[in-house]
Structure 1
Amino acid sequence: MDFSSLDPVVNPRSIAIIGASDEPVRIGGRPISYMLQRGFQGAIYPVNPKRPTVQGLKSYADVNSLPETPDVAIVAVPSQAALQAVEDLGARGCKGAIVFTAGFAEMDAGGAAAQDVMVASARKHGMRLMGPNCLGLFNSAINFYATFSASFESGWPLPGRIGIASQSGAYGTHLYSIARDREIGTQICITTGNEAEVTLSDVLGWMAQSPDVDVICAYAEGIREGKNFLAALDLARRNRKPIVMMKVGRSALGQAAAQSHTASIAGDDAVTDAVLQEFGVVRARNTEELLDIAYAATKRIYPVRNTLGVVTVSGGAGVLISDVAESIGFEMPEMPQPAQERLRGFVPFCAPRNPVDCTAQAINQTELIGEFATAMVVDGGYTSCLGFFTQVGASKSVAPKLRAQMKAVADQHQDRLWALSIIAPRDMIREYEKDGFLIFEDPTRAVVALHAMGRFGEAFARATPPAPALPQVSLPATTPTEAEGKRILAAAGIPAVPERACADVEAAVAAAREFGFPVVMKILSPDILHKSEIGGVLLDIASEAAVREGFATLLARAAERAPGARIEGVLVAKQIKGAVEMALGLLRDPVFGPVAMVGLGGIFIEVLKDVSFRRCPFGVAEAEAMIRSLKGFPLLDGVRGRRKADVKALAQALANLSTFAVAAGPRLLSVDINPLLVLPEGEGAFAADAVLEIGE
């Protein structure tokens, strides 16, 4: 997908300001003031019928009076006038409009209707529309400031190749301001307002293909359309452009959550999180972490297998760093034994395993720092290297030698990520940064940022898997019974436990006799989706007499607890012992379409929520990766001497569910398979209970 239609909006040669103000601090005056101050080289055309000039520039009465068609225009007039301005700009051939004006869909139904008119007008003329209710954007590389943010009163953007894309105007410029104060260069910031036409996805896609952006910071409150979003994330990954995103808010899956356990488990933004992980987007928990990761990414070193080596003058700091690394899954392999012995030869009481603690002796013998750092990178082979030197890094007596030694080692290994945790004045930090080091006061922040570089590297190196083949699927007109649902799933490659639908008690006795005792009995009704909630499941039925009694019990409970439900009989199934109970699920996300889930099954799934999600369809390899990501995976992998479960059969069933979901189309609203009984290795996996929800 090509996102270049935003080029005239972000890199214009001319701009008109509809509603231009002569006062530099007003909304219609700030963009002009900023561009005049910074020396925008393009043409600036104020439009204000009440003034001959605006801030020293010739003013024009209306869009039709402009001497040329501007590439882009700012609209900063009341809502009714804004509608006319957009129409006039489109008719004139303007390529883009940035609408500051508020009072549209964010207000009420009337505002939403007016916004629809504005969008229709823009699309009719092929004009991109940013906003309305938009704070605008800046591109400091060309001194283009199409924004009324007051943040520039405290300073201007620094040169750099980080782009900020934000759905919130105020928070987007908040990010920029903090980045500027931390001396991190963010030369482009684009905010999207109401996203009536241009969305965050468009901005991410534009940055993903822009030669002026290497690293993308994003702030998102909600993703409303999936196709462009997925295309933008995929383009960024293919172009090795890391995206670090703050995603706030919770996505509601609407009425589906009331019917589907899978949907209720995903009721927060677990689906969006799964999509971000799929494309290697790193999700930041807060502003500080977002900027830390973006700062580290400016080195453009993204290890595929990232390992952390630490050299420190403090054993305590080494423990702190190790704790954080373990908690986020950042590998810290031990130094090779010969290297450890050699380092003990320098300092017998050192701790050379990793972290490599050269102790405070390094203050007396600063040459030790170079020896230990060299051993760490050469012998340890770590891709990310962190030095903890605290205030020693700024000490007049030690810092010059420390800096020289660390620089010498780093210069010989420029393919590694180098970070230092020191406390130093800003001017000294700049010197360390010029030497090629990332500088953090807090070493735990350095660990998180360095770990993110490996996550990017893994995503960039990952080949796009081939699209799996889709089966032929024919869905019934309405939500089926459990028995019919299992038949449909079995045809799609998800086999069920041997079972039989029984309309009367004699058929139930015959089925139990055929399967062998014990058996499971369940009420059979297309209207009772979750049978256990009405007592509609009986286990350990061990005799013909128990079958007869159970049949009557189930019918009585259904009549009492679900009096309006259609009852088609009882389902009798073989009871399987010694299996691991898992759960497979499917929900139809309103943005991303069908999404599959796997997790530990049984009654605790919604309590423990040890689950993994992925957008459909996907193959067996992706399915197995989902399964192995579960905290409870050891239960499948032979923990405490148990036989290993048939993970391959489980992965095949999960992959088959994902292709079935896509082939079935939008009428398939949800699937819940719980439990899916996974037998020992080589013996298969079978659905013991299944609910399919079919829509119109």
Structure 2
Amino acid sequence: MSVTGARETAGSSRLDGAGLVDLMCAPSEVVVVGASADESKLSSRALAFLLRYGYRGGLHVVHPRHESILGVPCVPRIKALPRLERAVAIVNLPAHLVPAAVSDLDEAGAGAAVVIGSGFESPSSRPRRELEEVIRRPGFRMRVIGPNCVGTMSVGSGAHLNFSTVLTRRAPRLGRIGLVTQSGALGNGLLMGLLRRGAGIAHWFSTGNEMDTGAMELTAGLLARDDVDVVGIFLEGLTDIDWFDRVSAAAHACGKRLFVYKAARTAAGRAAAGGHTGRLVGPNDATAAVLAEAGFTEVDDLATLADCLVVSAACGTGHRDAAVGIVTVSGASGVIGADRVHEAPGLRLAEPGRDQQAVRLDPRLESANPLDIPFLNETGVFTSAIGAYRASGIFDVTVAVTSGLAHDPATLVSDLVAQDRGPSAPVAPLVLCHLSEDDRLGEEETARLAAAGVAVVPTVERAVAALALTSAPRTRAPDGGSGAHVPSRGGGLGLDEARAVLPGLPWVDWAPAPTVEAARRFGFPAVVKAAGRGIVHRSELGAVAVVTGEDELREAFARVAAACREHDDDVLVQRMAPPGGTEFFVSAMEHPEVGPFALVRPGGLLTELIPGQAIISHRWNAPTRRRRLLGSPVGRLCDGYRGRPVLDVDALLDVVATALDAVAAGQLGFVELNPVFLYESGAATVDVVAGQA
């Protein structure tokens, strides 16, 4: 399957998506620009890794002063290279030399270049401006990954175009995990953790500043590869949002799992991300909703991301209503595991006691779940019980809790490795964990288990959490968000101006009221209030009042008019909305990562008090918007909650769509509609705060 259609070859046109990833994973030629002859320097690593880890393609080194480096002949400049075919370059030069080198590599026929160096973080820096000019030049064909990245890695081909410190210490094991990380240092940390746990890696892309190639495009390409089963992603921000829908379509089509750890979730994190990479990232709730709807499984930390990748590689993904068996050296850890399974959606504890013949155990044991085996120094009894549970056909996955205090590690590992998962003796997947984070097997034992398809996770809590995430549906029901309200951004357009931009909304009539006589236009009851050009929070300034008679009108008009004079606003009179409606707050704005999105919350004075919201993206079609709204706490208010009337959800969604379309078209920079009254049939929009784009 190709994300972008037919995969093109380097040398014919500019590659993207699957074609770009295919080239990076198995280039026919590699050009190393800026290699050092001093093996103690970082700039020597990429060439050393290519030689050490089995790259078999053509290899070129560009260096102006050396005839050869590490035994590889050098050419003095890029323009002295032969014409390149399906070639990737790694560029490790001072920032001011990079733009010219990238230009020369494109002319030489390279299909892609990995730019390692820093110095491009500031959008105003001269090297960045010059590199952008090269990349955007008409006719420029080569793709650029980076700059300011660690590089890329493909284990099967040996194409290690990086300077990762992890690879100086250990050879990566070939597996079926793909990684995409916007941070090189954090990507190194994730890679180190996975390798220490024996996980097999297929490919890793560190994307850095993403001046040309972003994380979503590379993710789409990895999903299209037959040698990748699961992808782990670390994001600081969504920079190539144009690729997002293609990633979503590819993930749903191929059935592969995407686990993402999204940083910059708070105001402090967003500020740090802006300083670190020059990205602008926005409210996390909108990003989380769009990621979930697209099929990403979001995790809360790096350790969970690693756990999910390890468990997915060993156990697969998508096992709904998975039956879990627990075998443990500790009764307490069994209780904890049972609690976590019971709490986890998509998991359940199976009951082996209903079929005693299916589980053959030591005579001192009776089948139970969890099964406690408190025997010290009887490792064989423990591993035999694990084997019996795995082979019984009762359990979809077995979780086993071991301890160095009770079991011999060598025997434990040998016995578990011998439990064949082949078709002749099929056994269920196994997740092995420990009594505590500090009571672990060594790296060698862990690697042997991983090679045999056994996932090793530090604790039973983390093991069950990872199983739950790998078993969860790809499109999660919304959780209502954090309850964080996006505050009003200040005055802008008044009601009259906003109505001209949003004519399709079901407005409650109003009229200018420059005098108290004009304020009698709609009779009683009515509302006297500021127009909203200079006053946003009317209630806080006494600039809104419900009047039911002549005496109230005169007092209210005087108070509202005084506030309007002070804040350069005008007085309006408005009909009362029809009785019996439920108040909602609808807000639409432009998100710097995911585009226009809307929030729907309880309205009126309760907007900032009651938690729970629906997040609706402009990217979603009408059925998806409806499903996301009804699946939220706000949506449940519309659907006959506790005997309340069933409200006209379609009318509310029409209001949302009108607001979103105005922002998407650039007519408004933001719009807040509060309250919007919703009825069993129809809706009524009372007030608006809006600003021009």
**1:479 Cα shift?**
6.0
Letter of the structure 2 residue corresponding to residue 53 of structure 1: S
2:120 partner letter: F
Task: Quote how far apart the aligned CAs of 1:145 are.
Answer: 1.7
1:375-394 map, 5 Å:
378=394, 386=399, 394=407
Report the CA distance shift for 1:442/1:604 in structure 2 as closer, same or farther (over 3 A). farther
* Structure (1 or 2) with the greater helix fraction: 1
Q: Distance in 2 between matches of 1:190 and 1:451?
A: 27
Determine the structure 2 residue equivalent to 1:445. Answer: 462
Instruction: Give the counterpart letter for 1:501 in structure 2.
Output: A
Give yes or no for contact 1:502–1:572 (8 Å, CA) kept in 2: no
Q: Which residue type is aligned with residue 85 of structure 1?
A: A
Distance 2:543 2:169 in 1: 67
Output the CA distance in 2 between the equivalents of 1:396 and 1:74: 43
Match of 1:691 among 682, 685, 689: 689
Partner of 2:10: none
Distance verdict in 2 for CA 1:156–1:241, change over 3 Å: same
Partner residue of 1:667?
Answer: 667
Match of residue 500, structure 1, among 503, 507, 510 = 510
For residue 144 of structure 2, what is the aligned residue in structure 1?
Answer: 129
Q: Does 1:573 align with 2:576?
A: yes
For the structure 1 residues 238 and 367, does the alpha-carbon distance in structure 2 shift closer, same or farther, using more than 3 Å as the test?
closer
Does residue 86 (structure 1) correspond to residue 99 (structure 2)? The answer is no
Displacement, 1:432?
Answer: 6.2
Contact 2:23 2:88 in 1 (8 A): yes
Matched, 1:63 2:78: yes
TM-score normalised to structure 2 length: 0.79
Counterpart of 2:666 in 1: which secondary structure? coil
Q: 2:178 aligns with which of 142, 163, 170?
A: 163
Q: 1:118 aligns with which of 134, 140, 157?
A: 134
Residues 607/222 of structure 1: CA separation in 2 closer, same or farther (3 Å cut): farther
After TM superposition, give the deviation of residue 277 of structure 1 in Å. 0.7
Q: Structure 2 counterpart of 1:550, which letter? A: A
The CA deviation at 1:606 is 3.8
Q: 2:554 matched to 1:548? A: yes
Measured at CA, do residues 555 and 342 of structure 1 come closer, stay the same or move farther in structure 2, by a change above 3 Å?
farther
SS at match of 1:446: helix
How far apart, in 2, do the equivalents of 1:617 and 1:193 lie? 27
CA distance in 2, matches of 1:694, 1:534: 24
- Alpha-carbon distance in 1 for matches of 2:626, 2:337: 31
Q: How many pairs align?
A: 637
CA distance in 1, matches of 2:267, 2:348: 42
Q: For 1:3-37, what per-residue CA distance to the aligned partner results, in whole angstroms no more than 9, with x for missing partners?
A: 11343333211112222322223233221112122
Q: SS of 2:240's equivalent?
A: coil
1:393–1:399 contact (8 Å) kept in structure 2: no
Paired with 1:183 and 1:337, the residues of 2 have a C-alpha distance of 31
How do residues 22-61 of structure 1 correspond to structure 2 at under 5 angstroms? Answer: 22-61=37-76
Identity score, percent: 22
Contact kept in structure 1, 2:315 and 2:397, CA below 8 Å: no
Change (3 A) 1:316 1:127: same
Looking at structure 1, the residues matched to 391 and 604 of structure 2 have their Cα atoms a distance apart, in angstroms, of: 51
Q: CA shift at 1:96, angstroms?
A: 1.5
| 1:366 and 1:398 in contact (8 A); partners too | no
Query: Equivalences for 1:646-665 in 2 at 5 Å?
Result: 646-647=646-647, 649-650=648-649, 652-654=651-653, 656-658=655-657, 661-662=660-661, 665=665
Please tell me whether the aligned partners of residues 410 and 445 of structure 2 are also in contact (alpha carbons under 8 angstroms). no
- Measure the CA separation in 1 of the matches of 2:32 and 2:422: 54
Aligned residue number for residue 201 of structure 1: 216
* CA deviation after TM superposition for structure 1 residue 162, in Å: 0.8
2:282 and 2:592 in contact (8 A); partners too:
no
Mapped contact 2:600–2:614 kept (Cα < 8 A) = yes
Which residue pairs with 1:102 in the alignment? 118
Unaligned runs of 5+ in 2: 5-16, 269-280, 478-490
Q: Which of 487, 495, 501 is the aligned partner of 1:482?
A: 495
User: Is the 1:598–1:654 contact (alpha carbons within 8 Å) kept by the matching residues of 2?
Assistant: no
SS of equivalent to 1:25: coil
- Find 1:184's aligned residue among 182, 199, 219: 199
Distance 1:212 1:433, change over 3 A: closer
Equivalent residue in structure 2 for 1:611, among 610, 613, 636: 613
Identify unmatched segments of 5+ residues in structure 1.
254-265, 462-477
My pick for the range that moved more, 216-225 or 363-372, is 363-372
Q: Which amino acid aligns with 2:543?
A: G
Shift of 1:631: 4.8
**RMSD (CA atoms):** 4.3
> 8 Å contact 1:356–1:376 — kept in the other structure?
no
2:373–2:382 CA contact under 8 A, matched in 1 = no
- What residue in structure 1 maps to residue 595 of structure 2? 593
Offset of 1:100 from its aligned partner?
2.0
- Cα distance change, pair 418–631 in 1 and its aligned pair in 2 (3 A): farther
Q: 2: distance between equivalents of 1:569 and 1:51?
A: 81
Using the alignment, how far apart are the partners of 1:599 and 1:340 within structure 2? 50
CA shift, 1:140, in A, is 1.6
1:219 and 2:237 correspond: no
Give the residue type in structure 2 aligned to 1:15: V
Query: Structure 1's 183 and 387: CA in aligned 2 closer, same or farther, altered over 3 A?
Result: closer
CA distance in 2, matches of 1:371, 1:33: 43
Q: Is 2:543 aligned against 1:536?
A: yes
CA offset digits 1:123-152 (Å, max 9, x no partner): 633011122223211212111121122222
Q: Is the 8 A contact 1:525 1:569 kept in 2?
A: no
Residue 464 (structure 2) pairs with residue 454 (structure 1): no
Q: Give distance in 2, aligned partners of 1:593 and 1:178.
A: 34
User: Quick check: 1:582 aligned with 2:584?
Assistant: yes
8 Å Cα contact 1:370-1:405 kept in structure 2: no
Deviates more, 1:35-44 or 1:403-412: 403-412
User: Take 1:399 and 1:148, find their aligned partners in 2: how far apart are those partners?
Assistant: 37
Structure 1 position 281, deviation (Å): 0.8
Rounded Cα–Cα distance in structure 1 between residues aligned with 2:125 and 2:414: 67
Q: Using the TM superposition, give the Cα deviation of residue 273 of structure 1 relative to its aligned residue in structure 2, in angstroms.
A: 1.2
**Cα 1:570–1:47 shift into 2, 3 Å:** same
SS in structure 2 opposite 1:180?
A: helix
Q: Secondary structure at the match of 2:199?
A: coil
Amino acid at match of 1:113: R
Partner of 2:481: none
Q: TM-score, normalised by structure 1?
A: 0.78
Deviation at 1:165, TM superposition (A): 1.0
- The range that moved more, 541-550 or 369-378, is 369-378
The more displaced of 568-577 and 76-85 is 568-577
Paired with 1:402 and 1:154, the residues of 2 have a C-alpha distance of 29
| In 1: Cα distance, 2:233 partner to 2:178 partner | 8
CA distance in 2, matches of 1:406, 1:685: 64
Partner in structure 2 of residue 465 of structure 1 = none
> 1:250 Cα deviation (Å)?
4.5
Change beyond 3 A, Cα 1:337–1:138: closer
